[in-house]
Structure 1
Amino acid sequence: MHYLILSFTHRNTTLPIRDKLAFNDDESKLSFLQRSVDSPFVNEAIVLSTCNRIEVITSCNNPTEASKHLYLLLNEHSGIALDELEGRAEQFEDQGGIHHLFSVASSLDSLIVGETQIAGQLKDAYRFALEHGFCADKLTRAVNYAFKCAAEVRNRTEISSKPVSVASVAVAAARRAFGSLEGKSALVIGSGEMSVIAARTLYNHGAEVSLMNRTMAKIEPLAEEVGGSLVPFNRLADVLGKYDMIFSATGSETPIIDGSMPFRRDEPCHWFDMAVPRDIDEVDHAMVKVYRIDDLKNTVDENIMLREEEAKASFAIVGRYTAEFYAWLKSLNIEPLIKAMYQRAEASAREESTRAIAKGFLPKTYEAQAQKMALQAIKRYLHPQVMQLRRAADVGDIDAIIESMAFILNMSEE
């Protein structure tokens, strides 16, 4: 069994590429996951699709053939050429894959290091795959250990002491642009976590918040929380020029703000597109500045510098957890071998005591005692060997031992 992850992130892809790769609905995820595990080379699969990353996380029996299959599926899903997909992707296998997964869960691979959204997004992706039967023991072990690692990073370092997200960084960019948000008007479009964070952060900085969504009932509680007004979605074109700021994070597959929409604005305004695929088309207006997710990298760079020392400590934790995880996996591989040794010892004790009685070496009435004595003798002999195997498993470097024992016991390794 191997772990294999194909990773497309803000580091190796542009926003248009991620737009095409994104899984924007359950139907597309289900289809991709089903076709992934239909391959004889892929056993389990999870798709993590967020604004800044698309990760295909799998357990497989042949990484080379599995990756070929997955690249073909991604090609069909996105329309991006195979050679470009293979050239852009970061491909992680086995221990490298586990280290990457733990880093992602701990928010060390995020656009904004230390942001807290990614753990929840990974949890949602895992649950989706598990509930639909695409995820079992192998990935469950890895993901659960990833959450343990992320918790340790949060508890032992200051990496997330001041939680940030793409939405909060967008608001920070607005604050820099205006100097102060007190009394500034803002329209927040969407009902997801990004929109909620943006609305709350704007409210906390004194902005006057209006909310818009296709389903108004979903944003009514948030409107009440931030003292905001509700704007019907079908009035979007009518109100574009009204607000100092627009923050948009919907699940639309096409831009909801078209560059050709007419509006009048005499003062500077700032529009923040926090969605993938993008919500805001190219806009050519002297008073409008559009910020996209990739435009937030300056703030990200500042954030990384401030957290550099904490990131070093965090990566040390990730490295330790990666080593511990593989040692634990190897100990799981040892136990079936140990169990097989004892089962065969019991069978031998039973066979020899039966043979001794059949040949008249012992009376029939002593059969149970003879079996017990033979078994105890074999167990006493095996005990130091078993303890040595478990000590080797604790050290972690026992691949050759497992392979040799499996060969000696005529057991195929899983």
Structure 2
Amino acid sequence: MFVISLNHKTSEAGFREKLAFDEIKRISFLNRLKDEGYTQVVYVSTCNRCEIYSVGKSSKVVSVWADMAGVDIDELKESLLFFDGKGAVNHLFHVAAGFDSMVLGEDEILRQIKDAYQFSKEKGFTDYELNTIFQAAISCSKKIKTKTKISKTAVSIASLAAKKIHGFKPGKKKVMIMGATGDTGNKVLLNLLSYGDCKIYATKHIHHIGNPNVESIPYSEIYDYINQMDVIVSATKSPHYTITAGKLKNIELDDKKRLFVDLAVPRDVDEDVVEFKGIDLITIDDFSAIAKENNVLKKKEKENGESIIEDELDTLLKDLTFHNNREGFELMKTTCKEDFEHFVYKFKDIASAEEFDSFMNVLNKMQEV
């Protein structure tokens, strides 16, 4: 397996959003790669990363990717990380566990990995190797979340955003959330309700929350409400801006202090809104520094998780090696006539000193079991 990765450490959100394919474009991308000989492909696309997991040689992938995204291939190459073999598998295990995320140990990435894998599996773009590796990575991540405290202490982008909103100004705050029925938007809403100091206006009806502090408003009327708001949050999957500076000019916006929080990729909020007096804009990339502070608290739990990954990775790699050599084992059964002592001497003659030492150590361990 190999991995080609573009993430929050190597590129800005504005560049990553060009590679955030919708379902139709993702299927087209997978089919184009299949035409190039890549029959097993999983494409992971989140707010903070776009990654291709496949089997074979990665040489032809980048040019197809650049063409599909409409970006310059040299610019894309400058932002990419490449992993092969054990390094690629190790990378997936760390990503699924949330160890490579902006917020260490965050839970959202596991769901996103599962969704991306399931999408490719259902569309016929996985086989034994990717199925085995992804299932093992998902299982390992669940084990880490059960056996360590990293998930319990993890802080997601949504909770970081809610904390920022809570501290934006003292007292009751009016907050508009666009995309409150989506995963991130809904988590922001729930976190804000836990603080208890916000009146929330959501652009779609929230069926499962009967709370007097949540009011549903029509999306078409968002500009009618902005003058009343202290905070405007946008976390939609819209391909275009939900808030533009041009439309703000038309509503005679007063100059009281307001916070705009853009949690979407592609971006929802026009960056020019900061030209209005009193407006601050925070995007996903701005939470990077906050996330780093929280990550310090989770390093010890990460060490515990690393030991789990090491054990699970070792088991997986042995299973893959066994599967890939099963025909050879069957052949040895029929062709190897010697007794065990002759087998050991023959192994000694063919193996290197390191290989023979390792073999003997394993034999000794088997005697102890």
What TM-score comes out, normalization by structure 2 length?
Answer: 0.86
Return the letter of the residue paired with 2:50: I
Where does residue 353 of structure 1 map in the other structure?
A: none
Q: In the TM superposition, what is the alpha-carbon distance from 1:340 to its structure 2 partner?
A: 2.9
Q: In the TM superposition, what is the alpha-carbon distance from 1:277 to its structure 2 partner?
A: 0.2
Where does residue 21 of structure 1 map in the other structure?
A: 19
Q: How many residues align?
A: 343
Where does residue 55 of structure 2 map in the other structure?
A: 59
Where does residue 293 of structure 1 map in the other structure?
A: 284
Q: In the TM superposition, what is the alpha-carbon distance from 1:29 to its structure 2 partner?
A: 0.7
Indicate yes or no: 2:188 matched with 1:192. no
Gap change, CA 1:84 and 1:384, over 3 Å in 2: farther
- The alignment yields a C-alpha RMSD, in angstroms, of 2.4
Distance in 1 between residues matched to 2:276 and 2:25, nearest whole Å: 36
Distance in 1 between residues matched to 2:207 and 2:155, nearest whole Å: 23
Instruction: Describe the SS at the equivalent of 1:177.
Output: coil
Distance in 2 between residues matched to 1:225 and 1:336, nearest whole Å: 62
Contact 1:39 1:69 in 2 (8 A): yes
Distance in 2 between residues matched to 1:397 and 1:139, nearest whole Å: 29
Gap change, CA 1:334 and 1:381, over 3 Å in 2: farther
Distance in 1 between residues matched to 2:317 and 2:80, nearest whole Å: 25
Return the letter of the residue paired with 2:27: L
Q: In the TM superposition, what is the alpha-carbon distance from 1:13 to its structure 2 partner?
A: 0.5
Return the letter of the residue paired with 1:58: S
| Matching residue within 294, 301, 304 for 1:313 | 304
Where does residue 366 of structure 1 map in the other structure?
A: none
Indicate yes or no: 2:1 matched with 1:10. no
| Matching residue within 248, 266, 276 for 1:277 | 266
Contact 2:154 2:298 in 1 (8 A): no
| Matching residue within 192, 207, 228 for 1:202 | 192
Counting only pairs closer than 5 Å after superposition, residues 223-302 of structure 1 correspond to structure 2 as 223-224=209-210, 227-262=213-248, 263=251, 264-282=253-271, 283=273, 284-302=275-293
Provide Cα deviations, 1:3-31, integer angstroms capped at 9, x if missing partner: 111111100001111111111x2101100
Gap change, CA 1:397 and 1:301, over 3 Å in 2: farther
Q: What percentage of aligned pairs have identical amino acids?
A: 27
Contact 2:103 2:154 in 1 (8 A): no
Distance in 1 between residues matched to 2:298 and 2:172, nearest whole Å: 32
| Matching residue within 28, 34, 37 for 1:37 | 34
Instruction: Describe the SS at the equivalent of 1:43.
Output: coil
Provide Cα deviations, 1:61-109, integer angstroms capped at 9, x if missing partner: xx2xxx2321112111222211121121011111110010000000000
Q: In the TM superposition, what is the alpha-carbon distance from 1:176 to its structure 2 partner?
A: 2.9
What TM-score comes out, normalization by structure 1 length?
Answer: 0.77
Distance in 2 between residues matched to 1:226 and 1:275, nearest whole Å: 27
Q: In the TM superposition, what is the alpha-carbon distance from 1:58 to its structure 2 partner?
A: 0.8
Instruction: Describe the SS at the equivalent of 2:15.
Output: helix
Provide Cα deviations, 1:215-270, integer angstroms capped at 9, x if missing partner: x4xx4314535751111111122222221111111111111111112241342111
Structure 2 unaligned blocks of 5 or more: 348-353, 360-369
Structure 1 unaligned blocks of 5 or more: 346-377, 390-395, 402-414
Instruction: Describe the SS at the equivalent of 2:71.
Output: coil
Distance in 2 between residues matched to 1:119 and 1:51, nearest whole Å: 13
Contact 2:235 2:263 in 1 (8 A): yes
Counting only pairs closer than 5 Å after superposition, residues 298-377 of structure 1 correspond to structure 2 as 298-342=289-333, 344=334
Distance in 2 between residues matched to 1:229 and 1:177, nearest whole Å: 21
Indicate yes or no: 2:118 matched with 1:118. no
